[in-house]
Each structure stands twice: as C-alpha cells, then as structure tokens.
Amino acid sequence: MKPFGRFLLVLIIIALMISSLAYAKKVYIRATTWDIAEGVKWIKEVFKEYEKLHPNVVINVQSITQGYSDKLVTSIAGGTPPDIFMWWDYPRLASLGVLEPLENVVDFSGVYPTLVKWVTYKGHIWGVAKDWTTRVIWYNKKIFDKYGVPYPKEDWTWEDFLETAKKLTHPKDGVYGFAVVPDPYAWEAWVKMNGGDYLSPDAKTMKGYLNSKQTIEAIKFLTDLYLVYGVSPSPSVREAAGGTYAMFESGKLAMIDSGSWFIGYMKARNPGITTKELAKRFGCTFLPHPKGKETMTMLHNAAWVVPKKSKHKDIALDIEKFLAKEGGRVMAKAGWALPISDKVAKELNLYSDPILGVFLRSLPYSVKDPSFLKREDWWKNFSKYIGDAFDMIMLKKMTVEQALNWAVDQSEQALKREGK
C-alpha cells in the first residue's frame, strides 16, 4: 500500500473511532407525559433547547394516554421508572419516598411562588411546573349581546352571578345561563371563599368542616343553580349537544367554569386562531365571590418530577434546573401554555392579553391550602365521598345538609377501618 493510501486509511479509522466514541457518549433520557399530539410537540420543542446546550443528551418523550398513573406507579415499583415524568398528585408518591426533592437542587426564584407552593408537600418541593391554569368564568359575548346583558366584571358577587345567569336563561331558545358540573376539586374554591372547608386544620377529619354552615351554604348555592333556578342544562342535554364546550361555543350556554383548556379546544377547531381573535367571541373573568368576601380560584398545576431510581438522575435533575430557568418561554411563545415565570409573562406582554391576562391576574387568588396537598389518602378516604354526596344532591336523593353529613360519616368509617 502506498504511503498516501496508508495515511488516508489511518484518517478514516480515526474518524470512525471519534464518531463511535461520540455516539457511545450519547445519553438517552426517558421523559413521560400524558400529553398527546400538539402537547407532545411542544414538550419536544422545550427539550430541544436543552439538547442544544447538551449535545450528548437525547430526550425521548413517551406519551401514555391510558392508565397513566397506574403504569407510572408500576414502573417505579418495578425499578424501571422514566428518568423524568409528569405528575400532579404529589402526596401519593412523596409519601412513598420514591421522588427526589428539588429544593436544594433547583433555583425556584424565577418561578411563580404559587406554582412552587402547589408542588410542595411536607416541606419539600417535588416538581417544576410544566404548565398551569386557574379556573375562570368564560362567557359567550354573542349571547350576552343578544339578550342585552352587560359583560361581567372581575369584582362581581354571587348575587350578581345568579342574576346574570337568570337573565341569560331562555329555555324556549334552548339557551342556559351556566353549566353546573359538580366536582369536589373545582368547587373547593367556592367553598373556601365562603369561609367553609373540606378538612379540619390538622387534616384529620371532615367532621365540622365539610358539614359546616358555610360549606353547606356554598354547595347549596351551586346546586340550586340547577335544582331551584333552572339556569343550567341537565347532564343529558349537555351530552346530547356534544358536551359543555360544544354547547358553549354554539351559543346555547352563556357561561362555564373552566380553565385555559377552552383555548386549546378552540385552537384545535380553528388552527392559527390567536387569543385576541378568540376574545372577539368570548371573554373570561374571575369567579364571583360572596358579598363582602374575596374571590378565590382553584389551580391546576402539572409538574415534571424525578424518581429516586432514575437511571440518569444527575441529568434529570439538571433538566429540572433548565426548566425552572426557561420559565415556560417556548410553550408560552407558541401560545400553547401559560409561562411559569412572571418575568417571561412580562417579556411576552401577556398581562395585556384580553384572555391570558385574566389567568395571570387570577393566579394570586388561588386557594392557599388545597385539600389534596394535605393527605396522601385524600382521594380515597375523602374526595370520593364528597363526589358521591354531590351526585346525590343533584339527583334529589338527599338535601345538601343530609348528603354532606353522609359524606362525613362515610369518611369517618373509612378512616376507622384503616386505623387512621
């Protein structure tokens, strides 16, 4: 072989070795979410920004759309969890000691304090918020205009809300003022703003709290909207119309209590629509409050968490640092989610947005001590019975007071059986 040929061969071998070495250094991270389609697309866009800073890291996003919680718990129990994954019921996993606390690893100074508080359990911070939404009252401007009803203001009372719903209810036209959808989680803000609660301060019982005068009053106000005043369509009417959002969009439902998901619903039906264009047809405002009291709202906050048995824990924790610093900028710029940073929200001028600004301004009014963050068995021994009680009220099987007393009794029996 000629000298030049040997030299060329050596260069090729060296290049292959370098290439092989570079490939060998690649670290593949498993990130799991319940998001699908567009949601996964923008998660990948966020992770691409991290990969640009760390060329040796490849983040593979896995979407689990069925049985998400059970599959995650099973993978953790089997010692094969993803490196980082989406979660929301922090007490459930934190109480088992399977999550990595983040307060000494991640700088949360740039994240909205409320979002940090809502991922904190027993003194530890368990996740970095991916996205969030408060609950607001959405209203269809066309219906308000049709019946000559003024748009609601942010500082409105329960009495204002009821009168507005009455004026917008026209059964002959098939139009209703508001959709009553019983939900223990969503209704907690209504209860708390009236001075009621689900749990005692020490979180040991619902007795004297779920069945207190203030809680009964709040639940009666909400269920009477359907049972007494008839301003809400029945579940069967909503189902026949294609669901709450479909009924709301089509002009048969004037107001709904929901989060920012309606934006995603409208974007899916109208690709490219902006929130400013959306605001021409719909508006949103704070939840109404009892007279003389301050409004509150429930927060929905999903976060990225790291299991202790993550195969690449150091990198997973570094991704958490990046996510906190990135502040949700990529997804917010895409119009897919609200940022987790006040700095980013201001940079993108979102506070002046006619729709998104309402969510940002309502964040400080989020419930300070949500019940699900007080006990790891909240859903099993408490929320389940509250939901059943709400159903019995709506079906007229029990009065509000009877149903809530029943829920308290069922919860006490369940706790006694488990020796708690």
Classify residue 2: in a domain, yes or no.
Answer: no
Per-residue pLDDT at 21:
43
Over residues 174-201, mean pLDDT: 98
pLDDT, one tens digit per residue, over 301-356 is 999 999 999 999 999 999 999 999 999 999 999 888 999 999 999 999 999 999 99
Residues 181 and 60 in one domain: no
Per-residue pLDDT at 208:
98
Classify residue 106: in a domain, yes or no.
Answer: yes
Task: Please say if the pLDDT value at position 19 is more than 80.
Answer: no
Per-residue pLDDT at 15:
47
pLDDT, one tens digit per residue, over 228-253 is 999 999 999 999 999 999 999 999 99
Evaluate whether 277 touches 159 at the Cβ level (below 8 Å): no
Classify residue 4: in a domain, yes or no.
Answer: no
| Number of other CB atoms surrounding residue 315 within 10 Å | 21
Residues 407 and 273 in one domain: yes
For the chain, what percent of residues have pLDDT higher than 90? 90
Evaluate whether 87 touches 303 at the Cβ level (below 8 Å): yes
Classify residue 395: in a domain, yes or no.
Answer: yes
Per-residue pLDDT at 17:
46
pLDDT, one tens digit per residue, over 261-314 is 999 999 889 988 899 999 999 999 999 999 999 999 999 999 999 999 999 999
Classify residue 313: in a domain, yes or no.
Answer: yes
Residues 304 and 316 in one domain: yes
Residues 140 and 128 in one domain: no
Per-residue pLDDT at 3:
52
Task: Please say if the pLDDT value at position 93 is more than 70.
Answer: yes
For the chain, what percent of residues have pLDDT higher than 70? 94
Per-residue pLDDT at 366:
98
**How many structural domains is the chain composed of?**
2
Residues 242 and 386 in one domain: yes
Per-residue pLDDT at 23:
46
Per-residue pLDDT at 64:
95
Q: Which domain holds residue 54?
A: 23-132+300-365
CATH code, domain with 411 = 3.40.190.10
Confidence of residue 16 (pLDDT cuts 50, 70, 90): very low
pLDDT, one tens digit per residue, over 60-83 is 999 999 999 999 999 999 999 999
Residues 104 and 148 in one domain: no
In degrees and rounded to multiples of 5, residue 28 shows phi and psi of: -105, 120
Residues 160 and 274 in one domain: yes
Evaluate whether 350 touches 357 at the Cβ level (below 8 Å): yes
Cα–Cα separations (whole angstroms), residue 329 to 43, 126, 277, 322, 346: 12, 21, 22, 12, 11
Over residues 377-382, mean pLDDT: 96
Residues 143 and 166 in one domain: yes
Residues 288 and 307 in one domain: no
Q: Name the residue among 266, 274, 232, 272 with its Cα closest to residue 246.
A: 266
Classify residue 335: in a domain, yes or no.
Answer: yes
Task: Please say if the pLDDT value at position 24 is more than 80.
Answer: no
Q: Which two tokens stand for residue 132?
A: 């969030």
Residues 351 and 256 in one domain: no
Residues 48 and 87 in one domain: yes
Over residues 214-239, mean pLDDT: 97
Residues 388 and 321 in one domain: no
Task: Please say if the pLDDT value at position 32 is more than 80.
Answer: yes
Over residues 357-374, mean pLDDT: 97
Q: Which two tokens stand for residue 371?
A: 């019940």
Per-residue pLDDT at 107:
98
Classify residue 9: in a domain, yes or no.
Answer: no
Over residues 84-98, mean pLDDT: 94
Classify residue 319: in a domain, yes or no.
Answer: yes
Average pLDDT value over all residues in the chain: 93
Task: Please say if the pLDDT value at position 217 is more than 70.
Answer: yes
Confidence of residue 6 (pLDDT cuts 50, 70, 90): low
